[in-house]
Structure 1
């Protein structure tokens, strides 16, 4: 019995009356299923923007204000300041750096999103609007690719819509709309994975290389691609694309060279994470213990403590996902998940694990597959999980820490 069977192809659907085409090897025009996914995406974006508009009026920074904050103010929170500073001023403005007192450790952030932000800013003068536009367009690309991956894997024409629904109603979905890296990363990683499933290794490698410039998670995707290639390549012709799999290493290598030229340290980004976000190595059980203490031992303010509780829950979800993938012998996806959990689970404490669930596309596909077998799963998710997403959105949009 083979270790990993190739994914079952999606069922061929008849062309729709409006001219839609079934999913094939090449990227098709938008069919009815794609348009339905984009409609769902547009509706959820509208809901988030309504929430952001209400937050400006209901939760002013000064309770005596008579005018709300600016229209885009709710979206300019936390990490956005780092992306903006890099895009506008560069990594080491005026010779400042880790040797400067009060340094903001901006080199911890990979250059893909700031470079894109700077490019879009040339045509969109407002920085915040440029960041939101990037995430809006990238999010649309990501959900289309996710839907096609789900249909490819589950072999059901409705699987794509369901998978996208689970993602867009997930607790941390607000970060797909904010000027953050998640949407841009998924817009590169998911088409890369879809290309790999279709055997287009050159496209998969190029897209993964770009994903590696956005987040270090791209390296985990690259590892999954290599494993998928090894498990599916057959014969001499099947191994010919192998050199392309080296391409994703180019982006982090170039960034490391850039940092070495200015700091003398190839891994300055890692040291910046250690200084600014306590991402130095700890044994997994120590990380769990530190996070548990922050969540339940009343050592943190309640707003932070509840987020540490969410971190613990998200880690448990990730471990359950990993076990499920291994049991179903989806080893490449299991490797991607395992590497992500290892990176998140070996710091001083868990940080941004709930937000990282957005990047676990096997989770959303698994939930969709489960809901196709048990329709009650979708109903329970909408009524129980989706409201949590509203809470997290309000938390983030009001400037509180939301993972």
Structure 2
């Protein structure tokens, strides 16, 4: 099942719009060059520029990891830098690798059953990691490769979303991807984490929904759900988009398309059944989240107070307190974004952001919200459109916000992300 993702540049650069030339006859090339050429023909000049920026920012983050290996080796008196790949083997990556190696319930050396919270992670990324590992034996390299390829798909889709229906689509697309790739938490798009893979499914799913291709939107959103619970929030947004879409002349399109919008519930349900079959607990995923990360339910006011106290009341070491301050800042950005979407009556995107904020803002304290901002595509497209109307927005972002990208990248690759 395929879909065409049209852009203004794509139609202008397609072979159908070129001047007629003499047919040279069939091209015979056993190396597969015609297939590669067709793939490149589907990429617009904007896509290629976006991918070039993506590659340069990947090189920059890899350079940061190299510097962190020298600046923060194991031991204060070390004479040898830490291995470069070890800079990416941090925190959640360890869980993904263990799931890929041992599954969800088989024991492995050093694991304490009381702290085994592997069930908190959806299976999509570990399954793909296990598959890629059959070709690439180093687990860390396999994880980095997944994120590298997934991120390339994601930035192209984001650029096309930003350019939908705009005469300045090329500039809007480049701006949106630039804001994303220079966002403070961008290091997680390069690491062996789920953000890039989720976006590689979620953004094309949203693009398909905007083009009224509901089967493709449903299938891609289901794949997104295999990686993160946020796929269900995406499914809700696609459902609202479907309900708001114009029906065909006989009024049947929206109702016939709704089953596709429900498809993302299938992988979430299947994972729940799998966990129940092995634990006897229908809420095993939720309980793993509670044990490992204090994601039990609290009111938004309680979550805000607990986060504020840990950020500013000197209850934590400075490293942890600074991270709680980042959580508060990211939540403030999310609330402002939701207000803007509601003001502009962009109901589907508002549903997606609202559900995300509710899930993140009703734990004991805020956790992982800076990472979650990477998944808020309305934020990056909105900033892009705003910056095209107000030139100072881009200047302020590059001057004030983008430097935090390096700070957080160093924090992650040096092993100081959690305190």
Which category of TM-score, normalised to the shorter sequence, fits these structures? over 0.9
Residues 1:352 and 2:364 aligned together:
no
For 1:64, what is the secondary structure of its paired residue?
A: coil
Mark the CA change 1:55 to 1:282 in structure 2 (over 3 Å): closer, same or farther: same
Secondary structure of 1:298's match?
Answer: coil
Q: Measure, in 1, the Cα distance between the counterparts of 2:293 and 2:167.
A: 42
Instruction: Name the residue aligned to 2:195.
Output: 182
**Gap change, CA 1:285 and 1:54, over 3 Å in 2:** same
Cα 1:217/1:401, change in 2 over 3 Å: same
Q: Give the TM-score normalised by the residue count of structure 1.
A: 0.92
Query: How far has the Cα of 1:61 moved from its partner?
Result: 2.0
The answer on 1:83 being equivalent to 2:83 is no
Check if 1:201 corresponds to 2:214: yes
Give the drift of 1:238. 4.0
Aligned counterparts, 1:1-400, within 5 A? 11=8, 15=12, 29-94=42-107, 101-152=113-164, 154-156=166-168, 157-234=170-247, 235-400=251-416
Structure 2: runs of 5+ lacking an equivalent:
1-5, 19-39
Quick check: 2:243–2:254 contact (8 Å CA) kept in 1? no
Counterparts of 1:390 and 1:224, CA distance in 2:
33
> Within 2, Cα distance between the matches of 1:154 and 1:272?
44
Provide Cα deviations, 1:374-401, integer angstroms capped at 9, x if missing partner.
Answer: 1111111111111111000000001112
Distance 2:16 2:140 in 1: 38
Whole-angstrom CA distance in 2 between matches of 1:239 and 1:349: 40
Where does residue 24 of structure 1 map in the other structure?
none
SS at match of 1:294: helix
Rounded to whole Å, the distance in 1 between the matches of 2:71 and 2:105 is 38
Whole-Å Cα distance in 1 between the matches of residues 184 and 294 of structure 2? 24
Cα RMSD (Å): 2.3
Confirm or deny: 8 A CA contact 1:311 1:350 kept in the other structure.
yes
Conserved? CA contact 1:20–1:29, under 8 Å: no
Superposition TM-score, scaled by structure 2 size? 0.89
Q: What SS class does the counterpart of residue 54 from structure 1 fall into?
A: helix
- Structure 1 95/86 Cα, relative in aligned 2: closer, same or farther at 3 Å? closer
Deviation at 1:137, TM superposition (A): 0.2
Larger radius of gyration: 2
Once the two structures are TM-superposed, the CA of residue 370 in structure 1 deviates from its matched residue by 0.6
Residues 271-315 of structure 1: CA deviation (Å, up to 9, x unaligned): 100011000000000000000000000000000000100101110
Paired with 1:95 and 1:164, the residues of 2 have a C-alpha distance of 40
Superposed CA deviations along residues 242-292 of structure 1, whole A, max 9, x for unmatched, are 221221110001100100100011220111000110000000000000000
Runs of 5+ unmatched residues, structure 1: 1-8, 22-26
Work out the CA distance in 2 between the residues paired with 1:20 and 1:58.
54
> Distance in 1 between the 2:167 and 2:212 partners?
17
CA distance in structure 2 between the partners assigned to 1:16 and 1:223 by the alignment = 35
Question: How far is the alpha carbon of 1:59 from its aligned partner?
Answer: 1.4
Residues 1:68 and 1:95: Cα distance change in structure 2 (over 3 Å): closer
- Give the whole-Å Cα distance in 1 for the aligned partners of 2:352 and 2:173: 21
Q: Quote the offset at 1:239 in angstroms.
A: 2.8
Runs (4+) of structure 1 exceeding 4 A deviation are 9-14, 16-21
CA shift for structure 1 position 362: 0.1
